[in-house]
Amino acid sequence: MVKGIFEVGFPTVTPVCAVVNQSGILVVHLVPHDIPLPPSRICVRHWTRRRDIGVGIPRFLYFLKDILNRKMTGWVAALVVVGCFLAGLWPFSFHPPNRVTRLADRAGLQFRTDGVAYDPEPLTFAGSGRSPDEPATFALELWLEAEAEPGNDVFHILTIHDGQLPSNLVLCQWKSELLLRSPARENRRGFREVGVEAVLQKRQARFFTVNGDASGTAFYVDGKLTRHFPGFVLPSRRLNGQMVLGTSPAGKQSWNGKLLGMAVFDRSLNAAEVALHHEAWTNNRTKRLITEQGLTALYLFDEPNGPWAKDISRNRHRVFIPPFYHAIQRIILDTPSEYFRLGFNSVDLSINILGFAPVGFFLLAYLRMARPGRWLQNVILVMLVGTSVSLGIELIQVWMPTRHSSAMDLVCNATGTLLGELMILMVRLDSGGERR
């Protein structure tokens, strides 16, 4: 019975294979170079005056026996670290173009992914209540046309943002649903929402009115009451803030569609008024709304060009369409809870883990050759390098509006680095780069 197999090599000497039999007798055979040794073990030529015994490792690491050496591994490790850093920032879009354009055939704005427009000044709702906790009275009118029915996230159409996240009020789309969201600390998800289903079909223009007062919140579609939510009463403080159109203040949930007109009232509208306003919007008689009581803002988006859309109400607000896309509020290392809010993306998760596995693999391989006998210090050092590279990527992504600075990505990258270290720990190396 064979007790062990190892290969012995000396300078200018043909390699030999030594087999220890059951009786403990060492039997030596010449091994020609064209006869492979058993693939379940790697027996490495260590051209020194000592004997190295091969250690069995998984087949998928067998290729290392001919390519790993100290110098080459050092270069590969450096290239892998730099490559991961650059890949994490690709395509280096610090100032991407803002994808908001004016419609050519009619009044309105076309919003696409990475598009934003916003009012630099906060809206003022004079009739929202005498104190911040009193029920808000308001009406939002939007004439819009959705370009798609996405189901992988909730995309912001209109947001009222006061500088805090989550935003005060969000009117958004999920699939064909129109949703109204507001923060709620007592809710497990951190917000409350109500909405109406099957009203945002692809490329179908609809006129929406969202009405709120002490009796609740009502949704009107094309001038007709669709649904009323008596328990959804907003405090007046939720209406204070600047208006952001087409994306979230963080710039991460861009809506695709056409906004044909918009009006904001600081009072609720009754059913008759909603019907009359719908008729005015759809029959090109919108300007008669200027004399309506409680009108806070009225946008027709009928300017032929320019970066500003004018409010024709007495308040004279303006919506700015910047030349470059940017976030209204930057987020540094978004929390993992936000990452899992709608369920995690398994593909993105896998890429973030496996993408950093080579960093741990090759960097630890090099350090084990350069600093033999310091396995714990080497493991810790590699983890620090991998985590630092990932942290650098996430901090730079704060200034890249098309990227997402996420703490979850940092955790996944660190996990990938650790995975690479575990893989290389399965290969036993000495200071010269040979496996033993």
pLDDT band at 339 (very low <50, low <70, confident <90, very high): low
Cβ pair 382, 417 in contact under 8 A:
yes
Instruction: Give the Cα-Cα-Cα angle 280, 283, 289 (nearest 5 degrees).
Output: 25
Helix (H) or strand (E) holding 390: helix 375-397
Q: What are the structure tokens assigned to 51, written together? A: 């004997």
Q: Any idea which residue has 């076309």 for tokens?
A: 110
**Per-residue pLDDT tens over the stretch 148-186:** 887 778 999 999 999 888 899 999 999 999 999 999 877
Measuring CA to CA, which residue among 184, 99, 186 is closest to residue 147?
A: 99
H helix and E strand count, the chain: 8, 19
* 231-253 pLDDT, tens digit each: 999 998 899 899 999 999 999 89
Give the number of other Cβ atoms within 10 Å of residue 81's Cβ: 19
Kindly report, residue by residue over 13-68, the tens digit of the pLDDT.
445 455 445 544 444 454 454 545 444 443 433 333 333 334 444 554 555 545 56
Which H/E stretch holds residue 262? strand 257-265
Q: What pTM was computed for the model?
A: 0.79
Which structure tokens are listed for 177?
A: 């649903």
Query: In angstroms, what CA-CA distances link 211 with 181, 230, 275?
Result: 14, 11, 13
Residue pair 407/336 in contact (Cβ under 8 Å)? The answer is yes
Outline where DSSP puts E strands in 12-168.
Answer: 16-20, 26-30, 100-102, 109-111, 117-118, 138-146, 155-161
Per-residue pLDDT tens over the stretch 343-375: 557 788 899 999 999 999 999 999 988 998 898
| Domains of the chain with CATH codes | 1-56 (no CATH), 60-95+330-436 (no CATH), 100-325 (2.60.120.200)
The residues, ordered by sequence, that sit 6+ positions from 265 with a Cβ below 8 Å of its Cβ are 138, 139, 140, 141, 292, 294, 295, 296
